[in-house]
Structures are given as C-alpha cells and as structure tokens.
Amino acid sequence: MRQNTAAAQKKTREVCELAPIMPVLVVRDAVNAEPLAKALIAGGLAALEVTLRTPAALDVIAAMSAVPGGVVGAGTLITPQDVRDAKAAGAMFGVSPGATDALIEACLDEDLPLLPGAATASEAMRLLERGYTTQKFFPAETSGGAAALKAIGAPLPQIRFCPTGGVSLSNAKDYLGLSNVLCAGGSWVAPETLVSAQAWSEIETLAREAKQHLST
C-alpha cells in the first residue's frame, strides 16, 4: 500500500532517533552480515545503513534484517529499481545521497521510508516542499561541515538532518550539538578492514564508544 509522505517521514525520524550514530556499512561478503549486525546492536547502535555498493548488499540486508533488535536500511538508493530490490530484501528504510522525483515516488509506492540527501538550502527547500522534514546532509564535511549545517538550519528550522560524509568520532559532537541534527552517519564504527577481519569484538567496542561518548 502506498505510504503518504507524513507517515513515512515519521518513521524516518524514529529511525534517526534510535542512536546518535547510524553506521554506514560496506559489506562485501554476506557471511559477515549477521555477526556484524549483532556486534553493532550489542554496542548500542540499532539503525544500520547497508550501502548498495557491493554485489552482496541485498543478501547482507536480508541477513541483517533477521537479527533481533536492529532496524536495517538500504543506502545509496539511486533508482526506482534500487528501491524495489531493497524493499524485497527486507530493508525497513532507505537512504539516498540526493533525491529525484522518480526515487521519491518509488519509495512512496513501496512503502519504504526515505532519508533523502541535500547539500544546499535550495535542495533542502525542494525536499521540504514535498514534505520531507528529515533529511541527510551529504557530503557533510566537504559541504562546509557543522558550520554550514548550522547556517542552513537558521532559516529552515522545520528540517532535521543526519549529516554523513567525513563524520568521525573526533568531529561528530560538532554536528550532534546542533539543534537541527538528529543523528550522524559514520563508517568508522565498522570499517571494511575490521569487517573483513571478522573483528566483531572490536566493532562492538567502537559502537559502544560512539554510543556512550556521543549520547546527549
């Protein structure tokens, strides 16, 4: 059943409010999906973004979606087919670096809550015009960082953001301290090197560190 934008955005906001950091995950082998999800959830990070950048991504989403306590989303949604594939794999929300009308319509048709990306005030306003009050600020650091996001927030207080791109443990508080930020996306809590090495205890420690250090 087609979702309306307001209901979908309510779900998106709820996902963003689960934890201060949303892990951005690049997983190349689906065998690592379940233990990775368990490690991150045990560390206190329940909202997981699996990027569609590897051939295994949809299988990873399917495996992670079966792990209790997590809310698994598909990142890097670009086309309507990406949306359909992600939803069929079990994704509970979607994330995109930008937004197109076709992508937005596909997410509404598939009842997949969307966190659409914006990097400028004009992009944010176009999304707001369509009812999107929760957006991704991407690429955060190269778009001016926390200072830019604070400036955008002044005339657009209706919008809350999840900054992603260049966010790390060292600068995440700069973003999370802003009144227009709900959470931040970061890859440092589960870098590819640790995932490939199946270093689950180290990843759990990084997740717990992020949750404890960055929770307000």
Enzyme catalytic residues:
49, 136
First vs last Cα of the chain: how many Å apart? 37
For residue 100, which phi and psi values (nearest 5 degrees)? -130, 160
The widest CA-to-CA distance across the chain, in whole angstroms, is 46
Nearest 10 degrees: Cα torsion 132, 135, 139, 145: 120
For residue 185, give the nearest of 148, 144, 145, 137 by alpha carbon.
137
Phi/psi-derived region of residue 75, left when phi > 0, alpha when psi is between -120 and 50, beta in every other case: beta
Three-state SS for 133? coil
6 to 10, 132, 139: CA distances (angstroms): 6, 8, 25
Two structure tokens written together for 45: 């990070």
